[in-house]
Structure 1
Amino acid sequence: MTKTSSPERTAPVDESQLRPAGRATRAAIEAAARTLFAERGFEAASVRAIATEAGVDPALVIRHFGSKEALFLRTLDTSAGVGAVLDGPLETVGRRLVAYFLDPERPAVRHRYLALAQAAHRDQVREEMVRYTAETYVARLAPRMEGADREVRAVLVVAQINGLLNLLFQQEDPIVSGADTATLVALYGDAIQGVLTP
């Protein structure tokens, strides 16, 4: 896959130095971006479209956030509570993790996964995904695991979850999509558990 960087990546303004009007502009840009990224996806939501939706000049989008990728990451909700699942008993993380991602009460999981998948070829987004994996998964799981290759195994848990979400949300595989949730939780959860506690 080709690595792609945004040509419009600059140092953003310091948020703490903004006056009330600047903070209002920044909030309007963020709200517009959140809406357009959700509706159109990363690629189709252009900086110009975000600026139009926010009622500002396109240059202000880059001035406030530094790049489209940085704005995208700012609007992406990663506080969905997976940390609480990972912090629970290690012996049952596999099934609880799959149940978390398949929970119909969390529709944002699908949107977040598809948005990240579409933008993952961008350097800044990919770097953030690597950082998030290290902080959210490796730091929580590896110290509690036994045996060799603990960090590698913790990252492979992320790979397994990504594989499941890819089948469900990108490929929309009819076999997986049509399977009973309890069956998926048991089968796939135990496969993940085998990596965590072999």
Structure 2
Amino acid sequence: MTKTSPDARRPRELRPAGRATRSAIEDAARSLFAERGFDGASVRAIAAAAGVDPALVIRHFGSKEALFLRTVDTSLGIGTVLDGPLETVGRRLVAYFLDPRRPVIRQRYVALAQAAHHDQVREEMIRHTAETYVAPLTPRLSGPNPELRVALAVAQLGGLLNLLFLQRDPIVTAADPEVVISTYGDAIQRLLTPPLAAEPDAR
């Protein structure tokens, strides 16, 4: 486990100069993580962009992972997409991530995926899945294993994002977005609201 510095634990107690330094580091990190991803944004590069010594980055935040979680929105802004009719949430989720007006979504997802092998980031992603998807959707589902079905739907969505944003699979990236939304959205939907089994023929 990474040791947290005193400054990282108590940012509000910093003097004005310390708060300004911390703010400059956060601004630089936010920009570089979005531009280069987690792996491409080194502590040294962040420090240079902020105009500070690299040691100050660790002093204020404890680790690169902690700084990443401080400056990157791990929620991907998905909360409001889950509002509305449950019967169409699958298509709404896919449409949200395919929307070309949201390039920042791709940047955030790539940065998160690159950092997911770090304990701090992985734990945050698990927490996010539980709070953003599982908690609000599970009570709305009927049938067996609702919590598991939500988790599997999130996993299914992650597979699409991996093909789109990391692998950039040409079959998926070149496909008609509306076809992807309907086809993949309906596949996710079947986990959340599975079709009722046909009643046996009484004849």
Above 0.5 in TM-score? yes
| Deviation digits for residues 8-66 of structure 1 (CA, Å, limit 9, x no counterpart) | 54242312212221111111000111122223221232212211221112222112112
Which residue does 1:106 correspond to in 2? 102
The answer to whether 1:40 aligns with 2:33 is: no
**Could you tell me which residue of structure 2 aligns to residue 157 of structure 1?**
153
- Superimposed CA distance per residue, residues 73-100 of structure 1 (whole angstroms, 9 cap, x where no aligned partner): 1111245532111122111100111111
Task: Tell whether the 8 Å contact from 1:42 to 1:119 is kept in structure 2 after alignment.
Answer: yes
Q: Which moved more, 1:152-161 or 1:119-128?
A: 152-161
* Maintained 8 Å contact 1:29/1:61: yes
Partner of 1:64: 60
Aligned partners of 2:37 and 2:107 also within 8 Å:
no
Shift of residue 165, structure 1, vs aligned partner? 0.8
Give the TM-score, by structure 2 length.
Answer: 0.89
Which secondary structure state, in structure 2, belongs to the residue aligned with residue 72 of structure 1?
helix
Which structure is higher in RCO with an 8 Å CA cutoff and minimum separation 6? Answer: 1
Letter in 1 for 2:120: Q
Partners of 1:95 and 1:185 within 8 A in 2: yes
Q: 2:34·2:104 contact (CA, 8 Å) conserved in 1? A: no
Distance, in Å, in 2 between the alignment partners of 1:106 and 1:41 is 17
CA distance in 1, matches of 2:94, 2:173: 14
Residues in 2 aligned to 1:59 and 1:132: alpha-carbon distance in whole angstroms: 30
Q: Larger Cα Rg: Structure 1 or Structure 2?
A: 2
1:91-149 Cα shifts (integer Å, max 9, x gaps): 11001111111111111111111111111111100000000101100011111111111
- For 2:26 and 2:138, locate their aligned partners in 1 and report how far apart those are by CA, in whole Å: 35
In the superposition, relative to structure 1, how do residues 9 and 39 fare at CA in structure 2: closer, same or farther (>3 Å)?
farther
Count, aligned residues: 192
Q: Is the 8 A contact 2:74 2:125 kept in 1?
A: no
Name the Cα RMSD after superposition. Answer: 1.5
Unaligned runs of 5+ residues in structure 2 are 195-203
Mapped to 1, the partners of 2:77 and 2:114 lie a distance apart of 23
Are 1:145 and 2:157 matched, yes or no?
no
**TM-score normalised by the chain length of structure 1:** 0.91
Q: Which runs of 5+ in 1 are unaligned?
A: none
In structure 2, give the amino acid aligned to 1:10. Answer: T
C-alpha deviation, 1:164, in angstroms: 0.5
